[in-house]
Every structure is written in C-alpha cells, then in structure tokens.
Structure 1
Amino acid sequence: MDNVHFEEYDLANGLHVILHKDINEPNVIVGTKYHVGSKNEEIGKTGYAHFYEHLLFHGTKNIPQGELENIILNAGGYCNAYTNYDVTYYYQLLPAHEYKLGLWVESERMLHPVITQEGINREREIVKEEKRMRYDNKPLGNSYFEMMSKMFSDETYGHNMIGSMNDLNVASKEDFEAFFKTYYIPNNACLVVSGNINIKETKKWIKLYFKDISKGKKIKRPKNFNRLSGLEKHTERTVKGLKEESIVIGYPLMAQSDADAPAMQIITAILSGDSDYSYFENHLNLKQDTIIKRIKASSDFWEKESTLRITATVKNKNSEPYLLQKIEQQIALLKNTPVDTTLLQKVKKKFESAYVDYFYHAETFADKVSNYYHLYPKTTDIKSLIENFNKVTTDDIQRVAKKYLDKNNSVVIVYHPE
C-alpha cells in the first residue's frame, strides 16, 4: 500500500493530526478519536466512556443544546460516534467544501462542551433503554461480555462496555466532568481529516481552531492486563426466552498489534469463513449432523488482548461433549496438518480485497488509520497491513494454533432454555 499517502504531525498542545488527501473522494471525513474506552474506567465508575459518547452531542458554548446534529445535516452531511474497550471516536462526513465546519464542531466538542444535569438525567434513561434493547432483552445479548468477564479482570476488559446502570445512577455531574478533564484533552486525541482536501489550507484552519486548547495532564493508563488466574472454565446458566441450547467457547489471544494477529485472523476465517473452505461447514457436515445445528467462529482484536469466540446451537443439554469433541478435532487439524496452500491463498485474497476497499474510502480509512496511531507502535504500520497477511505461511498457522488454541486456557459457557 505504498501508494496510500498521508501526513501526520503534532500541535504544541499534543493533538495528533493525520491528513489524507484523496482527489477521487467527493466528501471529507473529519473525526476525533480519543484514546479512552471502557478499559480505562475505574471499578464503581463504569460506563463513563460510552456515556460521554452521548453527552458530547448535546451542545457547546457556541452550539445550542440539541443542534449539533442539525448543523451537520443542514450542511449535507451526517455525524456519528462509537465507543469500545480502547477508544471513543466522533466523526462527520461532509461535502468536501464543508470541511471547516467539521473542524469547528470537533474543536467545540473538545474545548467547551456544555454538560447539564438535565442532559445527564435524560441520557441516563436513553442509555438504560439502549442497554435493554441491545443486550438485556435479547436472551444472549450479554454473552460476549460474560465470556470476557470469565477471562479478564473488571479493571480492564472484564466489564461491559456500556457499564453498570448502578454506577451511572450514582455518578454525579462532577464525576463526569472529572472524566472529561482527564481524557478529552488534545494530547489524548487524534484528529483525522480524510478526503478531497487542500493540505495547506486544512493545516491553517486546524491551527486556528485547535491551537488554543490547553494540553492536559499525563494520563495514567491501566498496566495490569493479566488474565484471571482462577479461570471459571465452565459455566452453566438457564436463560429466560432462549429457544435453543447454546454454547459459547472463548480463547484469550494476543494484543491486536502482535505479529501473530494476522495468522489468527486467517485461522478464524479458515474455521468459519466462506462455505467453499470453512472447516466447520465442510468437515462437520452440518446438513447431516443431528446434534450441531449452527456453529460460527469470530475473533475480536483489542489493544492489549483479543479473543476467539466459537458460538453454537445444539440439540439438547447432553450435546456439549459431542460439540467440544468436534471443535477440538478441527483445531487439532489446524495444529497438526498443514493448511492447503490453495485454501490459504483464497483466504488471503479475501482479506486483501476487504482492506484495499478500506483504503479507498475516506470514512473507513480515517477510522483505521486513527486506530493505528493510538493502538499500534507506529501509524505507518498500516502500510504493512496487507503485506502482513500475505506473509503468513502454513507453518505460521500451525504454530499460532498450537500457541493460543489450548482447551485448557479456554472458557465454556452453556446456556439452557428456561
């Protein structure tokens, strides 16, 4: 990806800036990604990162309450945000000539948001409803976070990203303001502008809007990412509303910037990717299997830890040993038998196609490159992304499978219908 060019630099206050010019893109993405997510929250003060994702849309000293989104919409754009374990990202997609509006909005959000008690009270109810709809009202809505809680401590990756409603209920306006002052500072942020921009002019406006925002104090980040020493390796629960016997198996993995991460992503695809090469689909013969109804593997990669998750629905509560045996057979195949080279090339091409697409869309590129700044050793490591996949060998697949996919390090959660 040597033909993908971007420029990066820091303002005096520590704000990191990434500029990416694409003359074929009619729009521009202006986003600010803060290096704060749920893993930065204290026990008893969970949910603050996600809560601020909501609060910072309310308004500022110069943007009336409730008007931020309308300002972007009236300019022909849209805005959104997300929070995960590692980062919180706010962004606008705008017509290219409106990039200054996006810069102004992001500077307003960082410099002087207006947080009111009324707004906090309103958002508490909105977040509660979001939690009910996305997680609590679905029989297995919290299964991913339950798996994480079995492997990692509550201080980091072990608690739900959306947080505890009890914590949010008792949080004061002062608690939220303290969180903002700690993390929503220029030296903890990456401003990214991607699209059909004039680099020189964009730099001028960035300096104008952001140079007077004061640098914050150095952030104390969590350092202990040790996995739980006493893994609760097997859990069974009865779930109201669940229709089928369901099983989740989780394996703790490496940090997302680890050299073995591309091989593990390929392993996940081999287990549960396209039907023409998926081990689960082709080797387990699911159409004829009377015990396993559905099975899927997925992996999630975070700054300090990652996971492989296998989810399955089975015939009844006596099906667990059969399922685990079948899964272990496929993992043993990865460990002990070299993957067919044609199959490996197919998987690599899938990844290459997906990532090339990322690079040629301003929205996905801005998100990806700002992740690389915050979560990888160097932003420019993004240029080796496809190369790192293409370098994975059949030996790497076997070595990585042996290193990480040990059933003795896995957790199993069995969900029984009520």
Structure 2
Amino acid sequence: MKKIYFLSFLGLLLSANSFAQKVAFEEYDLSNGLHVILHQDNSAPLVTTSVMYHVGSKDENLERTGFAHFFEHLLFEGTENIKRGDWFKIVSSNGGTNNANTTQDRTYYYEVFPSNNLKLGLWMESERMLHPVINQIGVDTQNEVVKEEKRMRYDNSPYGQWTPEVFKNLFKKHPYRWTTIGSMSHLDAATLDEFKAFNKKYYVPNNAVLVVAGDFEFSSTKKMVADYFESIPKGADITRKEIKEDPIIKEISATFEDPNIQIPAVFTVYRTPAMTTRDARVLDMISTILSDGKSSRLYKKLVDDKKMAMQIAAFNYSLEDYGAYIVLALPVGKNTLDDLVNEMDEEIVKIQTNLISDKDLQKLRNKFENNFVNSNASVEGIANSLAKYYMLYDDVNLINTEINIYNSITKEEIRDIAKKYLNPNQRLVLDYLPKKANE
C-alpha cells in the first residue's frame, strides 16, 4: 500500500514538474497594430483562441459608466456574418466553449475548440473585431441582461455592495472609483451613436492582443491569422491621461447599510501601488501570511483561537494603475467591529515589527510556486496569462519569470512594505451594517 501511495505522489510530482516547464511562445505584430502571441502545445487536441482589448471601466466617461462591461455582453449579439443569437450555437455545435470577462483595465474574450476548429475560432474573433452589429435591438436586449446581473450580483446579494462602497471611498479622482457594472441610468441615457463611438475607439486591432494556444501548426496558423485579421483597419491612437490620487494621510471612516444581511462586517482598506511593481508582489505575500488557509495568522487567531470572527480575509486587489489592500472580518457573538479592527491591526503591527522565520518564508515561496504552476496547467490558463502579461505588464516572458520575483522577496522587504503601506492613517475603515428595521 505504501508503494502505491509513493507512486501516486511521484506521478503528481512529475506532472507538476512538467507543467512548470518553460512556456515557449512566439510574438509579432501585424501591420494594423494587432499583437499576436502563439504558444504551441500538441499534447492534447485542443486550441484556445483569445483576444484581450485594453479597455475597462477606467476608460469610461464619468457620465457613461458601465460601457466596457456592457460591451462584454453586446459583442456576442452577432456580426454581419453571424446572425443574432447564433454565436453560442455555433460554438457549442462545434464542440467548443467560450466566455468573456471585464475588469477595470481590460476586456477578455476566448474560445476553446477541438484543434480542428482553430479556423472557426479565428474567424469568429475577427468577425467580432471587424463586423460587429451594434443596433438598438441588441442594445435594448443587453440592457435588460446587465440590469438583471446587477440585481443578482449587487443589489440583492448579501454583502453585494462592498466593492462599490470600498472603491468610491478609496478613490476620489481616478476612475477606479466606480465599478465595472456601472450605472444603469447611464446605460439607459446612452444613445446608439455613443455605443458605436465607444466600439470604434477601443475594439480595434492596435488596442488588442490575439493569443492562440494549444494544438496547431505554426505556418498554417500564421497564414490564417493574416487572412482573417490583417485587413482589419487600424484604429486611431488611444491616449490615456495619467490620473494621480492624493495620498491618504488621515483615516477615512465610512458606513453602509445593506438590507440583505444580518451580520455586520468591517473592511480596512489601504491604497496600494500598481500590479506591475515589486511592492505589489510583496503585498501579495503579506496577504498569504495573514489569511491564506487555516494556519494563517488572522484565521488561527480570530476564528480558531479567540472565536471572535466567523470569517476573515486579507488580499491585495491589484490593478494596472493602483491597488487596494483589503482586510475584512465578520464578528461572532458580542464582539464589535472595533474589536476586530484592533485584533487585525495587532497582527499587521507584528509583521511591521518582527521578521518572519526562515521556515515561514519557505512556506510562502512554496505556495507561490504552486499557484504559479497551477496558472499554467492548461492551454486556456496559459492563453490568459500570455495576454495579461503583454497587455498589462508589457512583458510576456513574465509567464516564465514572475515566480523569480516572488522567490527573491526577502523577510526584510515584507516587514518594510507592511510599514510603508499598512498604517491606520493611510486607510479607509468601512463599517458594513445591516439596514435598520425602521428605515
């Protein structure tokens, strides 16, 4: 029996090592500015085609929020050569799956097909880029879809308003102060011409990266990419204004009442630097120390030992221009939100004061190694990473080297970065409360 377990473990280890091998890729530009990245993996007969556009909610007009997320939906409506309502039918009937998602910084579309349908995936994404049909029927349909999504995810979901409340209080100038879902009144007020103008500006080849990852042959794939995408007209150059926030020098206090909850929560939130910085990566490690798993400091202290919290979390919400370092807790019994904040602060002060042990540093590095391997464990995940590292980090090879940055982070850096960013006078404290019965 021990031999069987050992062989199973060895198999898993060898599998992990194979996934951790260097991700080979080729990248080049078409004449219209479209960046192309190819990653070949012939181990399974699957191929991912994906396009990431450098447009998110931060690119919206203050009076027209929600456009980028709206387009995530709208660009599935159909094209000049794909009838309205047929997009998902075509994908599923050809053995594929597809999806899309939007953040504050970018929008991502992808399909996963059997490799003999690579041509179909490329054609569909070229159709989305070149021939989208943007008409009033599609706008009205997706308006209702987005409204329902907002009701489900934000308005009627317990704790669904924490993201809007955190970001509107943490940011005063930067467009990160509104959420990707945006304002329904803004979408209602928008004209068809405004939607067309947004598409013309942002969903163009010179604002996008195309990734093909999986089972394909290079020369024929390059020819198909050229055939389907080279003729798409280049868009006008996009200029983005750098918007800087004033430093937070005094604790910000905010309160929100949610009719969908019975147990309050508290959020302590610190504005942090861009995802591309070394500091942001150090903050990722601090999050792991505080709340990743049942052996983490906050979980062990507040949930297991003192039984003061029913839930605890700390994470670095990292974005292209800034980030938000968030620590949250839900109390148990008569413990107050202030009690939880004091306990959370105490653990942060320990990190700011005392170096973590060599053993804890190695444990951190092991966790990040594992996450790194898992993120590249499928061609779908690799396609996403390749697009992200090109679009938001300007360095595709981070898919192979970012783990070296994490592994080079020292105990002293962890202490010093905690001191630099995680202080009471640099944060927002949001008391997230049940709505009073008489209101």
Question: Within 5 A, what are the aligned runs for 1:83-162?
Answer: 83-153=102-172, 155-162=174-181
SS at match of 1:157: helix
Structure 2, unaligned runs of 5 or more: 1-19
Structure-2 change in CA distance of 1:173 and 1:232 (3 Å):
farther
Task: Look up the match of 2:297.
Answer: 279
1:405 paired with 2:422, answer: yes
Structure-2 change in CA distance of 1:227 and 1:160 (3 Å):
farther
SS at match of 1:215: coil
Question: Within 5 A, what are the aligned runs for 1:13-412?
Answer: 13-153=32-172, 155-227=174-246, 233-276=252-295, 278-282=296-300, 284-289=301-306, 291-315=308-332, 319-412=336-429
Structure-2 change in CA distance of 1:69 and 1:232 (3 Å):
farther
Whichever residue aligns with residue 410 of structure 2, its letter is: T
Residues 112-131 of structure 1, C-alpha deviations (whole Å, 9 max, x = no match): 11112011111111100000
CA contact (8 A) 2:40 2:216 kept: yes
Whichever residue aligns with residue 255 of structure 2, its letter is: E
CA contact (8 A) 1:152 1:225 kept: no
Decide which moves more: 144-153 or 11-20.
Answer: 144-153
CA contact (8 A) 2:173 2:245 kept: no
Q: Distance in 2 between matches of 1:384 and 1:209?
A: 32
RMSD: 1.7
Q: How far off its partner does 1:25 sit?
A: 3.2
Q: How far off its partner does 1:58 sit?
A: 0.8
Whichever residue aligns with residue 280 of structure 2, its letter is: A
Identity of aligned residues (%): 39
Residues 4-38 of structure 1, C-alpha deviations (whole Å, 9 max, x = no match): 11000000000000000012132111000000000
Task: Look up the match of 1:414.
Answer: 431
Paired residues in the alignment total: 416
Structure 1, unaligned runs of 5 or more: none
Whichever residue aligns with residue 298 of structure 2, its letter is: F
Task: Look up the match of 2:10.
Answer: none
Q: Distance in 2 between matches of 1:88 and 1:231?
A: 35
Q: Distance in 2 between matches of 1:240 and 1:20?
A: 48
Q: How far off its partner does 1:316 sit?
A: 7.0
Q: Distance in 1 between matches of 2:278 and 2:248?
A: 25
Q: Distance in 2 between matches of 1:56 and 1:145?
A: 25
Q: Distance in 1 between matches of 2:280 and 2:337?
A: 29
Q: How far off its partner does 1:165 sit?
A: 0.4
Q: Distance in 1 between matches of 2:137 and 2:254?
A: 41
